[in-house]
Homo-oligomer: A and B are copies of this chain.
Protein backbone atom coordinates (compact mmCIF):
# COMPACT_ATOMS: atom_id res chain seq x y z
CA UNK A 1 0.00 0.00 0.00
CA UNK A 2 1.22 3.46 -0.88
CA UNK A 3 1.14 5.67 2.26
CA UNK A 4 -0.05 9.25 2.09
CA UNK A 5 3.16 10.68 3.55
CA UNK A 6 4.97 9.26 0.48
CA UNK A 7 2.71 10.90 -2.14
CA UNK A 8 4.39 13.13 -4.73
CA UNK A 9 3.03 15.28 -7.51
CA UNK A 10 2.48 13.16 -10.57
CA UNK A 11 1.92 9.88 -8.71
CA UNK A 12 -0.95 7.66 -9.76
CA UNK A 13 -2.60 5.94 -6.85
CA UNK A 14 -4.80 2.86 -6.70
CA UNK A 15 -5.40 1.85 -3.10
CA UNK A 16 -7.97 1.84 -0.32
CA UNK A 17 -8.10 4.92 1.96
CA UNK A 18 -10.36 6.07 4.76
CA UNK A 19 -12.68 8.95 3.78
CA UNK A 20 -12.36 11.09 6.90
CA UNK A 21 -14.70 13.75 5.62
CA UNK A 22 -16.52 14.59 2.41
CA UNK A 23 -18.75 17.46 1.33
CA UNK A 24 -20.57 18.68 -1.75
CA UNK A 25 -19.30 21.89 -3.31
CA UNK A 26 -19.85 24.01 -6.38
CA UNK A 27 -17.25 25.61 -8.65
CA UNK A 28 -17.45 29.22 -9.68
CA UNK A 29 -19.19 28.08 -12.85
CA UNK A 30 -21.85 26.29 -10.85
CA UNK A 31 -20.53 22.78 -11.42
CA UNK A 32 -20.92 20.36 -8.52
CA UNK A 33 -17.96 18.40 -7.16
CA UNK A 34 -16.96 16.52 -3.99
CA UNK A 35 -14.31 17.81 -1.64
CA UNK A 36 -12.83 14.84 0.24
CA UNK A 37 -10.22 14.26 2.96
CA UNK A 38 -8.44 10.92 2.63
CA UNK A 39 -6.62 9.44 5.61
CA UNK A 40 -4.28 6.60 6.45
CA UNK A 41 -2.12 6.13 9.52
CA UNK A 42 0.62 8.33 8.06
CA UNK A 43 -1.52 11.43 7.57
CA UNK A 44 -4.29 13.04 5.54
CA UNK A 45 -4.53 14.55 2.05
CA UNK A 46 -7.02 16.77 0.27
CA UNK A 47 -8.82 15.18 -2.68
CA UNK A 48 -11.46 16.17 -5.24
CA UNK A 49 -13.99 14.28 -7.29
CA UNK A 50 -14.56 16.61 -10.25
CA UNK A 51 -17.13 14.37 -11.94
CA UNK A 52 -19.30 13.15 -9.07
CA UNK A 53 -22.00 11.71 -11.23
CA UNK A 54 -19.77 9.73 -13.52
CA UNK A 55 -19.85 6.00 -13.65
CA UNK A 56 -16.89 5.00 -11.49
CA UNK A 57 -17.91 7.10 -8.49
CA UNK A 58 -19.89 5.23 -5.83
CA UNK A 59 -21.97 6.92 -3.15
CA UNK A 60 -19.88 7.22 0.01
CA UNK A 61 -19.69 9.41 3.08
CA UNK A 62 -17.71 10.23 6.22
CA UNK A 63 -15.72 7.32 7.69
CA UNK A 64 -16.32 5.00 4.72
CA UNK A 65 -13.37 3.17 3.27
CA UNK A 66 -13.01 3.72 -0.47
CA UNK A 67 -10.89 2.18 -3.16
CA UNK A 68 -9.46 5.18 -4.94
CA UNK A 69 -8.04 5.48 -8.42
CA UNK A 70 -6.57 8.89 -9.12
CA UNK A 71 -3.64 11.23 -9.65
CA UNK A 72 -1.64 13.36 -7.26
CA UNK A 73 -1.42 17.04 -8.31
CA UNK A 74 -0.50 20.12 -6.34
CA UNK A 75 -2.67 23.16 -5.64
CA UNK A 76 -1.55 26.28 -3.81
CA UNK A 77 1.57 24.52 -2.66
CA UNK A 78 -0.23 21.51 -1.16
CA UNK A 79 -0.83 18.08 -2.62
CA UNK A 80 -4.27 17.26 -3.93
CA UNK A 81 -5.60 13.99 -5.25
CA UNK A 82 -7.73 14.13 -8.38
CA UNK A 83 -10.06 11.15 -7.84
CA UNK A 84 -11.11 9.45 -11.10
CA UNK A 85 -12.78 6.38 -9.60
CA UNK A 86 -13.97 5.70 -6.06
CA UNK A 87 -15.41 2.35 -5.04
CA UNK A 88 -17.05 1.82 -1.64
CA UNK A 89 -15.36 -1.05 0.24
CA UNK A 90 -16.85 -3.37 2.82
CA UNK A 91 -15.36 -4.68 6.01
CA UNK A 92 -12.75 -7.32 5.39
CA UNK A 93 -11.27 -5.65 2.36
CA UNK A 94 -9.00 -3.46 4.49
CA UNK A 95 -7.13 -3.50 7.80
CA UNK A 96 -8.43 -0.58 9.95
CA UNK A 97 -5.07 -0.42 11.73
CA UNK A 98 -3.58 0.91 8.50
CA UNK A 99 -5.83 3.96 8.54
CA UNK A 100 -5.51 5.42 12.00
CA UNK A 101 -2.51 7.17 13.51
CA UNK A 102 -1.08 4.93 16.16
CA UNK A 103 1.75 5.02 18.70
CA UNK A 104 5.05 3.61 17.43
CA UNK A 105 5.43 1.76 20.69
CA UNK A 106 3.72 -1.51 21.54
CA UNK A 107 0.66 -0.80 23.71
CA UNK A 108 0.89 -4.02 25.70
CA UNK A 109 4.56 -3.49 26.49
CA UNK A 110 3.76 0.04 27.64
CA UNK A 111 0.83 -1.13 29.73
CA UNK A 112 2.99 -3.79 31.39
CA UNK A 113 5.48 -1.07 32.32
CA UNK A 114 2.65 1.04 33.70
CA UNK A 115 1.43 -1.85 35.85
CA UNK A 116 4.90 -2.23 37.31
CA UNK A 117 4.69 1.37 38.43
CA UNK A 118 1.27 0.63 39.95
CA UNK A 119 2.83 -2.26 41.86
CA UNK A 120 5.62 -0.03 43.16
CA UNK A 121 3.21 2.12 45.19
CA UNK A 122 3.23 1.04 48.83
CA UNK A 123 0.55 3.21 50.46
CA UNK A 124 -2.37 0.79 50.69
CA UNK A 125 -5.12 3.30 49.92
CA UNK A 126 -3.39 4.67 46.86
CA UNK A 127 -2.53 1.16 45.72
CA UNK A 128 -6.16 0.14 46.10
CA UNK A 129 -7.25 3.07 43.96
CA UNK A 130 -4.73 2.26 41.23
CA UNK A 131 -5.70 -1.40 41.21
CA UNK A 132 -9.38 -0.51 40.97
CA UNK A 133 -8.67 1.70 37.97
CA UNK A 134 -5.84 0.11 36.05
CA UNK A 135 -6.33 -3.56 36.87
CA UNK A 136 -10.03 -4.10 37.50
CA UNK A 137 -12.06 -1.56 35.52
CA UNK A 138 -12.12 -3.35 32.15
CA UNK A 139 -14.12 -0.65 30.35
CA UNK A 140 -11.77 2.04 31.56
CA UNK A 141 -8.64 0.05 30.67
CA UNK A 142 -9.87 -0.59 27.14
CA UNK A 143 -10.68 3.06 26.58
CA UNK A 144 -7.47 4.23 28.25
CA UNK A 145 -5.34 2.15 25.88
CA UNK A 146 -7.12 3.42 22.76
CA UNK A 147 -7.30 7.11 23.64
CA UNK A 148 -5.11 9.81 22.21
CA UNK A 149 -3.72 12.48 24.51
CA UNK A 150 -4.92 15.30 22.29
CA UNK A 151 -6.98 16.25 19.27
CA UNK A 152 -3.83 17.50 17.65
CA UNK A 153 -0.59 18.95 19.11
CA UNK A 154 1.30 16.10 20.80
CA UNK A 155 0.43 12.42 21.26
CA UNK A 156 -2.56 12.81 18.93
CA UNK A 157 -2.74 9.11 18.02
CA UNK A 158 -4.16 5.81 19.28
CA UNK A 159 -2.20 4.86 22.36
CA UNK A 160 -1.07 8.45 22.81
CA UNK A 161 -2.69 8.77 26.25
CA UNK A 162 -0.96 5.61 27.44
CA UNK A 163 2.39 6.71 26.01
CA UNK A 164 2.13 10.19 27.54
CA UNK A 165 0.98 8.86 30.93
CA UNK A 166 3.85 6.40 31.06
CA UNK A 167 6.42 9.01 30.08
CA UNK A 168 5.15 11.49 32.70
CA UNK A 169 5.01 8.86 35.43
CA UNK A 170 8.55 7.65 34.75
CA UNK A 171 9.80 11.24 34.87
CA UNK A 172 7.99 11.67 38.19
CA UNK A 173 9.74 8.53 39.41
CA UNK A 174 13.05 10.16 38.46
CA UNK A 175 12.04 13.35 40.35
CA UNK A 176 11.09 11.31 43.43
CA UNK A 177 14.59 9.88 43.53
CA UNK A 178 16.21 13.28 43.11
CA UNK A 179 14.17 15.43 45.51
CA UNK A 180 13.70 13.69 48.87
CA UNK A 181 10.92 16.07 49.97
CA UNK A 182 8.60 14.38 47.47
CA UNK A 183 6.11 11.77 48.68
CA UNK A 184 6.71 9.17 45.95
CA UNK A 185 3.48 7.22 46.42
CA UNK A 186 1.35 10.32 46.08
CA UNK A 187 3.27 11.59 43.04
CA UNK A 188 3.26 8.28 41.15
CA UNK A 189 -0.47 7.88 41.78
CA UNK A 190 -1.20 11.44 40.68
CA UNK A 191 0.91 11.00 37.55
CA UNK A 192 -0.87 7.79 36.56
CA UNK A 193 -4.28 9.44 37.02
CA UNK A 194 -3.56 12.98 35.84
CA UNK A 195 -5.09 12.69 32.37
CA UNK A 196 -7.63 9.89 32.81
CA UNK A 197 -10.39 12.44 32.15
CA UNK A 198 -9.20 12.40 28.53
CA UNK A 199 -10.80 9.02 28.02
CA UNK A 200 -14.10 10.90 28.14
CA UNK A 201 -13.01 14.33 26.85
CA UNK A 202 -12.22 13.03 23.40
CA UNK A 203 -14.19 10.44 21.49
CA UNK A 204 -12.20 7.49 20.19
CA UNK A 205 -10.65 7.33 16.74
CA UNK A 206 -11.39 7.74 13.91
CA UNK A 207 -13.38 10.82 15.07
CA UNK A 208 -11.08 11.80 18.00
CA UNK A 209 -13.04 15.01 18.62
CA UNK A 210 -14.25 16.79 21.76
CA UNK A 211 -17.34 15.28 23.39
CA UNK A 212 -20.04 17.51 24.88
CA UNK A 213 -18.82 16.54 28.33
CA UNK A 214 -15.26 17.40 27.29
CA UNK A 215 -16.34 20.85 26.15
CA UNK A 216 -18.59 21.60 29.12
CA UNK A 217 -16.56 20.10 31.98
CA UNK A 218 -13.07 19.35 30.64
CA UNK A 219 -10.67 16.50 31.37
CA UNK A 220 -9.16 18.22 34.43
CA UNK A 221 -12.39 18.33 36.44
CA UNK A 222 -13.57 15.02 34.97
CA UNK A 223 -10.35 13.28 36.04
CA UNK A 224 -10.74 14.65 39.56
CA UNK A 225 -14.33 13.37 39.64
CA UNK A 226 -13.38 9.91 38.34
CA UNK A 227 -10.79 9.55 41.08
CA UNK A 228 -13.29 10.70 43.73
CA UNK A 229 -15.79 8.15 42.45
CA UNK A 230 -13.37 5.24 42.73
CA UNK A 231 -12.26 6.38 46.20
CA UNK A 232 -15.87 6.29 47.40
CA UNK A 233 -15.61 2.50 47.30
CA UNK A 234 -12.34 2.26 49.26
CA UNK A 235 -12.98 2.01 52.98
CA UNK A 236 -11.25 4.54 55.24
CA UNK A 237 -9.41 6.31 52.44
CA UNK A 238 -7.80 9.24 54.33
CA UNK A 239 -9.69 12.45 53.54
CA UNK A 240 -6.57 14.65 53.33
CA UNK A 241 -4.85 12.19 50.98
CA UNK A 242 -7.91 12.22 48.73
CA UNK A 243 -7.90 16.01 48.63
CA UNK A 244 -4.17 16.16 47.88
CA UNK A 245 -4.59 13.68 45.03
CA UNK A 246 -7.51 15.60 43.54
CA UNK A 247 -5.49 18.79 43.99
CA UNK A 248 -2.61 17.31 41.96
CA UNK A 249 -4.98 16.54 39.11
CA UNK A 250 -6.80 19.90 39.28
CA UNK A 251 -3.56 21.92 39.34
CA UNK A 252 -1.51 19.95 36.83
CA UNK A 253 -1.73 22.66 34.15
CA UNK A 254 0.20 24.82 36.60
CA UNK A 255 -1.54 28.14 36.07
CA UNK A 256 -5.06 29.52 35.95
CA UNK A 257 -4.42 30.72 32.39
CA UNK A 258 -3.95 27.14 31.24
CA UNK A 259 -7.29 26.03 32.67
CA UNK A 260 -6.31 24.75 36.11
CA UNK A 261 -8.78 25.95 38.77
CA UNK A 262 -6.00 25.71 41.39
CA UNK A 263 -2.24 26.37 41.33
CA UNK A 264 0.12 23.71 42.78
CA UNK A 265 0.17 24.01 46.59
CA UNK A 266 2.20 20.89 47.36
CA UNK A 267 5.52 19.78 45.97
CA UNK A 268 3.95 16.67 44.38
CA UNK A 269 1.51 18.87 42.43
CA UNK A 270 4.38 21.09 41.31
CA UNK A 271 6.46 18.07 40.25
CA UNK A 272 3.54 16.59 38.29
CA UNK A 273 2.94 19.89 36.51
CA UNK A 274 6.62 20.16 35.54
CA UNK A 275 6.77 16.57 34.27
CA UNK A 276 3.57 17.02 32.26
CA UNK A 277 4.81 20.27 30.74
CA UNK A 278 8.25 18.84 29.95
CA UNK A 279 6.87 15.76 28.21
CA UNK A 280 4.38 17.88 26.25
CA UNK A 281 7.07 20.31 25.05
CA UNK A 282 9.75 17.74 24.20
CA UNK A 283 7.32 15.32 22.55
CA UNK A 284 5.79 18.15 20.49
CA UNK A 285 9.25 19.26 19.41
CA UNK A 286 10.17 15.65 18.57
CA UNK A 287 7.02 15.23 16.48
CA UNK A 288 7.72 18.47 14.60
CA UNK A 289 11.20 17.22 13.72
CA UNK A 290 9.88 13.81 12.72
CA UNK A 291 7.14 15.23 10.50
CA UNK A 292 9.16 17.83 8.64
CA UNK A 293 10.97 17.12 5.42
CA UNK A 294 12.84 20.40 5.58
CA UNK A 295 16.37 20.81 6.91
CA UNK A 296 17.72 23.74 8.89
CA UNK A 297 15.30 26.52 9.77
CA UNK A 298 11.66 25.41 9.98
CA UNK A 299 9.99 28.80 10.39
CA UNK A 300 8.20 30.38 13.34
CA UNK A 301 6.32 27.93 15.55
CA UNK A 302 3.48 29.49 17.54
CA UNK A 303 3.38 26.88 20.27
CA UNK A 304 7.12 27.07 20.92
CA UNK A 305 7.13 30.86 20.40
CA UNK A 306 10.33 30.61 18.38
CA UNK A 307 11.69 30.07 14.91
CA UNK A 308 12.76 26.42 15.07
CA UNK A 309 15.89 24.75 13.72
CA UNK A 310 16.50 21.08 13.05
CA UNK A 311 19.90 20.23 14.55
CA UNK A 312 20.03 16.97 12.63
CA UNK A 313 21.16 19.09 9.69
CA UNK A 314 24.73 18.66 10.84
CA UNK A 315 25.10 14.94 10.65
> Which residues of A are at the interface with B, using a C-beta cutoff of 8 A?
9, 25-30, 71, 73-75, 77, 80, 82, 167, 170-171, 174-175, 178-183, 186, 212-213, 215-218, 220-221, 224-225, 228, 238, 240-241, 243-244, 246-247, 250-251, 255-268, 270-271, 274, 277-278, 281-283, 285-286, 289-290, 297, 304-314
Given the contacts A28-B73, A30-B71, A285-B181, A267 and B311 also touching, CB distance less than 8 Å: yes
Contact B268 A311 (CB under 8 A): yes
> In the complex, what residues of B have CB within 8 A of residue A167's CB?
178
Oligomeric state, in copies: 6
Structural contact, B263 and A261, CB atoms closer than 8 A: no
Interchain CB contact under 8 A, A305 and B263: yes
Q: Chain B residues with Cβ under 8 A from A217's Cβ?
A: 224, 243, 246-247, 250, 262
A239 to chain B, nearest CB (A): 8
A74 nearest in chain B by CB position: B26
Name the one of B29, B215, B258, B262 contacting A265, with C-beta atoms under 8 angstroms: B215
Question: Can you list 23 A-B pairs, Cβ within 8 angstroms, ordered by A?
Answer: A25-B74, A28-B75, A28-B80, A30-B71, A179-B282, A180-B286, A181-B289, A215-B307, A216-B262, A216-B309, A217-B224, A218-B250, A218-B262, A221-B221, A244-B311, A259-B261, A259-B262, A264-B306, A265-B309, A267-B285, A267-B286, A274-B274, A278-B278
- Does A270 contact B281, Cβ atoms closer than 8 Å? yes
Q: Give A243 to B222 CA distance when docked, in angstroms.
A: 11
Determine whether the beta carbon of A181 is less than 8 Å from that of B218.
no
Residue from A178, A224, A260, A309 whose CB has the most chain B CB atoms within 10 Å: A309
Contact A283 B9, beta carbon cutoff 8 Å: no
Apart from A216-B244, A270-B304: 16 A-B pairs, beta carbons within 8 A: A25-B74, A30-B73, A30-B82, A178-B282, A179-B282, A181-B312, A215-B307, A215-B309, A216-B262, A218-B261, A225-B225, A244-B311, A250-B261, A255-B305, A266-B311, A270-B282
CB distance from A272 to the nearest CB of B (A): 11
Measured CB to CB, the closest approach of chain B to A158, in angstroms, equals: 21
Note all chain B residues with C-beta closer than 8 A to A313. Answer: 240
Question: What CA separation (Å) do A212 and B271 show in the bound complex?
Answer: 20
**A281 to chain B: which residues have CB within 8 Å?**
270, 274
Task: Please name the residue on chain B nearest to A228 by beta carbon.
Answer: B225
Cα distance, A73 to B277, chains bound together (Å): 47
Instruction: Provide the bound-state CA to CA distance between A218 and B220, in Å.
Output: 14
Cβ B181 vs Cβ A308 within 8 A: no
* Known contacts A247-B216, A261-B261; is-contact A283 B75 (Cβ 8 Å): no
